[in-house]
Amino acid sequence: MTKDQMAQALELLGEPVELRIVRDGDRDIRAKGWKIGTGDSRDHLGHGTFPKDASRWTLIKLYLTSGGNLIAKIVRRSKWQGERDRDDAKVCRTPAVALAFLREGGDLGGASKDAWAEACRTWPPLAAEECEAVA
């Protein structure tokens, strides 16, 4: 993150906080930064292919580190007997890497899309990444 971007982040987002991003099957991620986007698949219940009463859901969180990286976190929750919750996260050096990580089964799910849009509106350097631009 450049000095100008850090000044912009401090002005828009406040002081960075210590983050500890929990993930299963790998070391947790520790960084200083800001949460810039969230999404919850339960907000999409009854729309499209989502059932009205989901016993499984997905939470998405996007973070910006003080070093300029993005951290994408996917939390899969389940009320099904025998299933356990899953936490996954990835440090993403570019927006394209973050989007690729968020695509579930090739699609950008509703929770991911919500979190991505919020992040792009919260952090101005991401604004151009909210929509795919074509000529």
Report pLDDT digits (tens) over 70-125. 999 999 888 778 878 888 999 999 999 999 999 976 788 889 999 999 999 999 99
Domain residues for the domain of 43 are 3-124
130 part of a folded domain: no
85 part of a folded domain: yes
Residue 24, both tokens: 């299963």
Q: Which residue spans within 47-121 are E strands per DSSP? A: 56-65, 70-78, 86-92, 103-104, 107-108
Tally of domains within the chain: 1
129 part of a folded domain: no
Q: Return the pLDDT at 107.
A: 84
Give the helix/strand (H/E) hosting 3: helix 3-13
* 89 touches 73 (CB < 8 A): yes
28 part of a folded domain: yes
The pTM of this model reads: 0.88
Q: Return the pLDDT at 77.
A: 82
CB atoms within 10 A of CB 98: 24
